[in-house]
Amino acid sequence: MTSPASSSLTPDGGDYQWLRRYPRDVRWERSFEPIPVTNLFDASVARYGTKPCTNFLGKITTYREIARQIELTAAGLQREGVKRGSKVGLFMPNCPTFIIYYYAVLKVGGTVVNYNPLYAMEELAFQIRDSETEIMVTLDLKVLFEKVESLLVAGTLKRAIVASFSALLPATKSVLFKLLKGRELVNPGRSPAAAQIIQDGKLTANDGRYTPAAIEPYEDIAVLQYTGGTTGTPKGAMLTHANISINCQQGAAWATNLKSGQERALAVLPFFHVFAMTALMNFALAEGSELIIMPRFVLDDAMKLIDQTKPTVMPGVPTMFNAMLNHPKLKSFDLSSLKYCISGGAALPIEVKQKFEALTGCKVVEGYGLSEASPSVTCNPVDGPVKEGSIGQPLPGTIVSLRDLADPTREVALGEKGEICVSGPQVMRGYWKRPEETASQFVGDFLRTGDVGIMDEDGFIFIVDRIKDLIICSGYNVYPRRIEEAIYTHPAVEEVTVIGVKDTYRGEAPKAFVKLKAGTSASEADLRQHLEPKLSKIEMPSEIEFRSELPKTMIGKLSKKELKAEEDGRRRTS
């Protein structure tokens, strides 16, 4: 794993491939300051105190006002015994409360544990036990509170803090919400677990005085970010203060075209996901941006919000950009305020990227990262030429090495397929309470990502596929992403996912699941005819199944997991 001695600096002055054509205004070999994550926000408060910090459903709050709420919350948490090493869960959609508790927990030395509000009870219980979460913070929305209440009653969770959702809204909307949607709210004081619940209003009824924790940036874990990693078993990636704060600094060093204190970032990705937590929430607040917050991505609402609030920056995932392009009333929305969008989380189809750029005039930059790297690892230049289909070049201070798929201790030659391995100051300390899995995830100082890629002569990296998604067809390696890219070129296709299914003759064969654009039609024969000049016979899908919707993950990425389980079950019973 990366050692503290080398974490803030580039490991050596090596002649790396990407230095041949690195962005003109970006220095790869540079040092970064390992600081507490909260220092990034505090610097923006000092510089931009009266500027808008958050815009939540029309309620605008300044940096100074958010900072004061963080102080009151930190003081309350400290009185409740939260200290260095305490694990505090955040269980809510995007809202200012998430930001306030996130920084308040860190200021008193605690560790944030992010929870997906869509998790089933068993998933929540597992993560609570595994992470040793002591307190869960949530909202008084029925859909959230009832899960937390059940965990309290069952004894799985010790305590909970419940904040008011309606208090986050502008005055008029708050009154209307209580009148029209009062059934969606709960009264925590009437809960059978009331003795274990602290209401936010009571917690923050103090003078805001507390003793800030003495943070050791390389040692203290800021966030336990749960991920399936390359094995699929949930485990907590230990992200230190240095990991996250330096990843934000790397982003700032890369995004030279963004103007500190002048940008407006649309937050449609969920903060509980590592991409949004660092590359959106932490980064935007470190840069003094205004965060325009959506509780969750709803296509119509997102389009209206862009039209009305004029954001300049929007991190997203490919399915979001694709959905916006296919909105039936696309031309009635003004999206021209967007100047910079970063796409991550999954492969961005080239056709989607080009169409979105042509529509908005903004630059869509594809990057790459993973939970274990806080998450950002590579990105295409934001001010300069990009290479279509590439995930870009390593961020400053980051080394990417492509390793032999059979022997990860051996680097492959330039242009050859290999496992993408990463070393840098943003790479995690390891997996929480899993030393053996941590050891297997590293080769020396390099984190194994489980992704197969190719590096070109300029150090641009092209992802071929996930190792676990690789299809072995008659002994040949078949990559689903290549098939998906080919299918996306058909004008009637909106979304596609390709998985490997069992085949009695070839062992495995590719199967494509396709969603067509509204108002279009295409048959399996049409698609096969379209694909014939684009794919080899071994790559041609054995089956093409049309569906009205395709499964997605919590951040909107197309998901193969459900389709694989469905196919496995179907074949077992047939």
> Does the residue 535 lie in any domain?
yes
Distance CA 233, CA 227 (A): 8
Distance CA 114, CA 271 (A): 9
> Does the residue 28 lie in any domain?
no
Q: Which amino acid is it at 514?
A: V
Asked if the model's pLDDT at residue 537 lies above 50, the reply is yes
> Does the residue 512 lie in any domain?
yes
475-516: per-residue pLDDT in tens?
A: 777 889 999 999 999 999 999 999 999 887 788 899 999 999
Asked if the model's pLDDT at residue 297 lies above 60, the reply is yes
Whether the CB-CB separation of 373 and 426 falls below 8 Å is answered with: yes
> Does the residue 478 lie in any domain?
yes
Distance CA 488, CA 496 (A): 7
> Does the residue 564 lie in any domain?
yes
> Does the residue 284 lie in any domain?
no
Whether the CB-CB separation of 150 and 186 falls below 8 Å is answered with: no
Tell me the helices (H) and strands (E) count for the chain, helix number first: 18, 27
- Which of these, 37, 85, 1, lies nearest to 246 by C-alpha position? 37
**Kindly report the CA angle at 532 between 526 and 536, in degrees rounded to 5?**
140
Whether the CB-CB separation of 372 and 432 falls below 8 Å is answered with: no
The CA-atom distances, in angstroms, between 283 and each of 115, 226, 415, 537, 554 are 20, 20, 33, 46, 21
Asked if the model's pLDDT at residue 4 lies above 60, the reply is no
Whether the CB-CB separation of 462 and 391 falls below 8 Å is answered with: yes
pTM score, two decimals?
Answer: 0.88
Amino acid 531: pLDDT: 96
CA atoms within 13 A on the CB side of 62: 10
Report the domain count for the chain: 1
Q: In a 3-state reduction of DSSP, which class is residue 404?
A: coil
Distance CA 322, CA 352 (A): 6
The CA-atom distances, in angstroms, between 393 and each of 19, 20, 444 are 9, 11, 22
Q: How confident is the model at residue 2 (pLDDT cuts 50, 70, 90)?
A: very low
What's the mean pLDDT in 103-120? 96
Amino acid 113: pLDDT: 99
Asked if the model's pLDDT at residue 554 lies above 60, the reply is yes
Whether the CB-CB separation of 360 and 343 falls below 8 Å is answered with: no
Q: Which helix (H) or strand (E) holds 139?
A: strand 135-139
The token duo for 29 is 């070999």
What's the mean pLDDT in 209-236? 90
Amino acid 232: pLDDT: 60
The residues, any chain, with a CB within 8 Å of residue 406's CB and separated by 6 or more, are none
300-329: per-residue pLDDT in tens?
A: 999 999 999 999 999 999 889 999 999 999
Asked if the model's pLDDT at residue 299 lies above 90, the reply is yes
168-194: per-residue pLDDT in tens?
A: 999 988 888 877 787 899 999 999 999
Least confident of 86-100, 266-280, 491-505: 491-505
First to last CA, the chain: 46
Rg of the Cα trace of the chain? 24
Q: How confident is the model at residue 231 (pLDDT cuts 50, 70, 90)?
A: low
* Placement of tokens 């955040």 in the chain: 90
Amino acid 222: pLDDT: 99
Specify which residues 95 forms β-bridges with.
none
Amino acid 9: pLDDT: 42
Asked if the model's pLDDT at residue 10 lies above 60, the reply is no
Whether the CB-CB separation of 249 and 7 falls below 8 Å is answered with: no
Whether the CB-CB separation of 321 and 119 falls below 8 Å is answered with: no
What's the mean pLDDT in 196-216? 98
Q: How confident is the model at residue 158 (pLDDT cuts 50, 70, 90)?
A: very high
- 137 sits in the region (left: phi over 0; alpha: psi -120 to 50; else beta) called beta
The alpha carbon dihedral of 529, 535, 540, 546 has a sign of: negative
Q: Which amino acid is it at 475?
A: G
pLDDT over 70 for what percent of the chain?
A: 97
Q: Which amino acid is it at 419?
A: E
Q: Is the peptide bond before 375 cis (omega within 30 degrees of 0)?
A: yes
415-444: per-residue pLDDT in tens?
A: 999 999 999 999 999 999 999 999 999 999
Q: How confident is the model at residue 472 (pLDDT cuts 50, 70, 90)?
A: confident
> Does the residue 31 lie in any domain?
no
Amino acid 177: pLDDT: 80
Specify which residues 341 forms β-bridges with.
314, 364
The token duo for 345 is 């989380």
DSSP letter at 295?
Answer: S
Q: Which helix (H) or strand (E) holds 8?
A: none
What's the mean pLDDT in 94-120? 97
Mean pLDDT rounded to a whole number for the chain? 93
Q: Residue 499's domain is classified under what CATH number?
A: 3.30.300.30
Q: How confident is the model at residue 91 (pLDDT cuts 50, 70, 90)?
A: very high
Q: In a 3-state reduction of DSSP, which class is residue 552?
A: strand
The residues, any chain, with a CB within 8 Å of residue 218's CB and separated by 6 or more, are 4, 7, 34, 240, 241, 242
Helices (H), 133-196: 142-153, 171-180
The CA-atom distances, in angstroms, between 258 and each of 40, 200, 546 are 16, 36, 42
> Does the residue 506 lie in any domain?
yes
- 364 sits in the region (left: phi over 0; alpha: psi -120 to 50; else beta) called beta
The token duo for 543 is 């089956």
Asked if the model's pLDDT at residue 229 lies above 70, the reply is no
Asked if the model's pLDDT at residue 8 lies above 60, the reply is no
Print the domain residue range for 547. Answer: 470-573
Amino acid 12: pLDDT: 53
